[in-house]
Amino acid sequence: MTPAFRRIPAWLAVAAMALLAACSVGRLAYNNATPVVTWMVDDYFDLSGDQEDWVRARFERLQAWHRASELPSYQRDLKDAMARVDRPLTVEDARWVNTTLRGYYYRIVEHALPDMADLLVQLDDVQARRFEERFAKESAKIERETARGSNEARSEKRAKKIADQVEEYTGRLSGEQRNLVMNRVQAMIDVSALRLADRRQRQELVVDLVRSKPAKPAMIAGLKRILVDTASWRRPEYTAAMLQRDEELYRLMVDLSATWTPEQRAHVQKKLRTYLNDVSSLIASR
């Protein structure tokens, strides 16, 4: 149940994504997320020893909240998803999945905003530069990878990636099913350039916020604007393009689901049931 959100350059947004990702790979990853998240944050900021302990303690507190308050929602929604898969899927079902996953993300980030602000406020100049350089290096790598190859090759790569992701849930697709996915994805609006521009704009906003070193209330407000209230700064053409792409993906998923064999539908149910069992075990172990 891993959402496909863009990477966010702030430590607890990274932590939030780690929590969500952990739910998709099992109880072991979730229960051992603290050292992984601490390492990720250190990689961005080059933390001191005291700061590492601080991050570890704050993340453990975030995870305790998440286990108690969010995992029951995951449990209910997974049961709902299994019921939806039992019948022919609709575009509204596909929208529900996207909306539900985004809701998880935004709730975690909003809950974590005070801790995010606390960390960014205490960064020294060396750590702030490390953050800028680390994030710029990551962005440059993404841009190089996105620009690699011809337009046709990049389009085929995107289509293959989505087809492979679909097969993680359905099991192997038939030749006709895979062609359906490949052809439809390759015909979709290409948002790559707009996404890169959006990432650069977000990077500038975050860097400016870190450089300005505002007091905690202003830091929280700035982070919320950047990470949650994106309509306040995002280019409308990017928003429109993403909405169009989402709708195209919804229709693809509905049309593909109409071709599922009984075995493929059972495979999807099994995948969802595995997630449900993991979430239920995590809830029971708190």
Tens digit of each residue's pLDDT (9 = 90 or more) over 258-286: 999 999 999 999 999 998 998 999 888 86
Q: Which residues contact 55 (CB under 8 A, 6 or more apart)?
A: 11, 37, 38, 41, 42, 47, 119
Global model pTM greater than 0.75: yes
Q: How far is Cα of residue 126 from the mean position of the Cα atoms in its chain?
A: 29
Structure tokens at 226: 């950047």
| Main-chain dihedrals φ then ψ at residue 4, nearest 5 degrees | -100, 70
C-alpha 99: how far from chain center:
12
CA distances from 181 to 97, 157, 265 (A): 19, 12, 17
211 neighbors 128 (Cβ within 8 angstroms): yes
Q: CA 163, CA 178: separation in Å to the nearest integer?
A: 6
Q: What is the pLDDT of residues 206-264, one digit of tens each?
A: 889 988 989 999 999 999 999 999 999 999 999 999 999 999 999 999 999 999 999 99
